[in-house]
Amino acid sequence: MLTYDLQRYRPAFSISVVDQTLEDIRRGLEQNVYNANQKRLATIKFLGELYIYRMFSSSIIFDTLWSLVTFGHRELVAFYTVTGLLIIFIAAEGRPLPNATVPLDMPDDFFRIRLVCALLDTCGMCFDRGTQRKRLDNFLIFFQVCHYIYSLCTTSPDVVLVLCLLQAEFAYGRRFYVL
């Protein structure tokens, strides 16, 4: 890959390529335009290829995976002050909740699931041991079983769940737990 080869001579160029790729992914999550889905998918695959060439650490991949799942979902946080006043505020990114409609992530839009599967298909085989494997296992449990698919796929959660489980099991040889 040309960016990897230029990294030794022009490190600022490599940093700007990674930064622009992450910015494009974030902008795609903010706008969620159907016409840009093919470009968004190519950008996610490009990010995975950049990771394979060790252009950045695995924490960026995991941050991107979590952003794909949680971006746009709000979490209400409530607490009482010393005087007994109840304060409720909205956290920046929360977990997807069942039957919660979010304009950026509608229940009938499965494209984020496709983006997560594409990123894992591209660079998921690099997380096969150690702490990275544990981090990926934790993410997959959250993504597939606990929250995302069940809260988002109100029409046919079992079909999407089976497809994702089969793809991940064959690709990475992992065993998943179904509640």
* 178 occurs within a structural domain: no
Cα separation, 162 vs 168, whole angstroms? 10
* 71 occurs within a structural domain: yes
Cα separation, 88 vs 78, whole angstroms? 4
Task: Write out the residue range of the structural domain in which residue 155 sits.
Answer: 2-172
Cβ–Cβ < 8 Å for 149, 95: no
* 131 occurs within a structural domain: yes
Count of structural domains, the chain: 1
* 129 occurs within a structural domain: yes
* 66 occurs within a structural domain: yes
Cβ–Cβ < 8 Å for 6, 14: yes
Cα separation, 3 vs 53, whole angstroms? 9
**What pLDDT is recorded for position 10?**
86
Is residue 12 over pLDDT 80? yes
* 177 occurs within a structural domain: no
**What pLDDT is recorded for position 40?**
95
* 89 occurs within a structural domain: yes
* 179 occurs within a structural domain: no
CATH number for the domain harbouring residue 152: 1.25.40.180
At 100, the pLDDT band (50, 70, 90 cuts) reads: low
pLDDT mean across residues, the chain: 76
pTM of the model: 0.74
pLDDT in tens, 59-93: 999 999 988 888 876 655 555 555 666 555 455 45
